[in-house]
Amino acid sequence: MQSKEQLIASESSYFVYAPSRNAQEMFLYPLQCGRFVYEAGYSLTRESFDSFLLMYVEKGSFNLETAGQSHTVKAGQLALIDCYARHAYSSAAGWSCLWCHFDGITARKWYESIAARGGNVFALPDVQPVKGKLAAIYEVFASGSVVREPLLSKYLTDILTAIVLYTPADAAADARQSAVETAAAYISEHFAEALTVSGLAAMAGFSEYHFIRIFKKQTGFTPYEYLVNTRMNNARYLLKNSALPVKEVCFSTGFSSESSFCSAFKRIEGVSPTQYRAGG
């Protein structure tokens, strides 16, 4: 479809999509996508438009106001915008871009994670794969192809994943993320040992208070909760996939006594380890 907006060149086109209920409950999905040439003087301000917006600038540049900040988005760069909040973009000289309004059950979490790490504008080391995925979404509609919602969700997820992986945070944020990732990996390998939060914090090079705070911010769990969850996951696996007595499952997953293991297991699962095993 051709845009009816002023200062959008006639060669521009866009498409609107209504996702299935399954897509709304499972996936990321496009709502509108297009390839626009914005003419000199174009300006748009919106208080809200229920979606998130990806824009890849092919030529020119534009000024973006979002999340209380102003940016200049240049050719070869990506912008990610929360359109649920007030936003504006404009250019005195004009620009051309691929764009996609999208949403989905995890879209808010993706946006918040990316914005907290890298803001709203991104210059990736190799932007071509991301541009290719955005172009592929557009081409599905431009070519009249069958819409495969899982594939479109994958394209969007690939784009957002690339932004997360290849957008550098500041040095302090990198250090915090590395410390949490290292601690989580250590827990996964050594969960059966007598681990302590203070020991993990010392290994990470942070005070115990600071370590707990940054660990929970990045994982959603305190280090102790993460350790218990790791032990419980392994205990559930052994109960269902081995003939080990409950006592051996207890000690092989890092609990100090059978009673503490059984109490923790029943608190989390609602049944005893024996009942869980018997449940099939």
Residue 154 forms part of a structural domain: yes
Tokens for 93, please give them.
């000289």
Whether 28 and 149 map to the same domain: the answer is yes
167 pLDDT band (50/70/90 cuts)?
A: confident
176 pLDDT band (50/70/90 cuts)?
A: confident
Residue 4 forms part of a structural domain: no
Residue 109 forms part of a structural domain: yes
DSSP string for residues in 185-254 = HHHHHHTTS---HHHHHHHHTS-HHHHHHHHHHHHSS-HHHHHHHHHHHHHHHHHHH----HHHHHHHTT
166 pLDDT band (50/70/90 cuts)?
A: confident
Look at residues 112, 145, 166 and tell me which one is the last residue of a structural domain: 166
Whether 99 and 141 map to the same domain: the answer is yes
Average pLDDT over residues 92-109: 97
Average pLDDT over residues 179-200: 94
Domain with 153, as residue range(s), is 13-166
Residue 1 forms part of a structural domain: no
Average pLDDT over residues 105-113: 95
Whether 95 and 149 map to the same domain: the answer is yes
Whether 204 and 162 map to the same domain: the answer is no
170 pLDDT band (50/70/90 cuts)?
A: low
**Across the chain, what does the average pLDDT equal?**
94
Provide the total of helices (H) and of strands (E) in the chain, helices listed first: 11, 9
Residue 7 forms part of a structural domain: no
Whether 27 and 148 map to the same domain: the answer is yes
Residue 6 forms part of a structural domain: no
Whether 68 and 202 map to the same domain: the answer is no
More confident residue, 280 or 155: 155
169 pLDDT band (50/70/90 cuts)?
A: low
Look at residues 123, 146, 166 and tell me which one is the last residue of a structural domain: 166
Helix (H) or strand (E) holding 179: helix 171-190
Are the CB atoms for 13 and 34 separated by under 8 Å? yes
Are the CB atoms for 192 and 153 separated by under 8 Å? no
**pLDDT tens-digit series, residues 224-267:** 999 999 999 999 999 999 999 999 999 999 999 999 999 999 99
**pLDDT tens-digit series, residues 19-55:** 999 999 999 999 999 999 999 999 999 999 999 999 9
Whether 137 and 261 map to the same domain: the answer is no
Whether 118 and 81 map to the same domain: the answer is yes
The whole-number pLDDT of residue 279 equals 85
Look at residues 133, 148, 166 and tell me which one is the last residue of a structural domain: 166
3-state secondary structure of 116: helix
Residue 85 forms part of a structural domain: yes
Residue 254 forms part of a structural domain: yes
Residue from 194, 188, 271 nearest 236 by CA: 271
How many domains would you assign to the chain? 2
DSSP string for residues in 150-174 = HHHHHHHHHHHHHHHHHS---HHHH
CATH code where residue 122 lies = 2.60.120.280
* pLDDT of 162 strictly over 60: yes
Whether 29 and 141 map to the same domain: the answer is yes
Length of the chain: 280
CA 176 to CA 180: how far, in whole Å? 6
More confident residue, 173 or 154: 154
The whole-number pLDDT of residue 218 equals 85
How far is the first Cα of the chain from the last one, in angstroms, to the nearest whole number?
55
CA 97 to CA 14: how far, in whole Å? 12
Within 8 A by CB and 6+ apart from 221, the residues are 215, 229
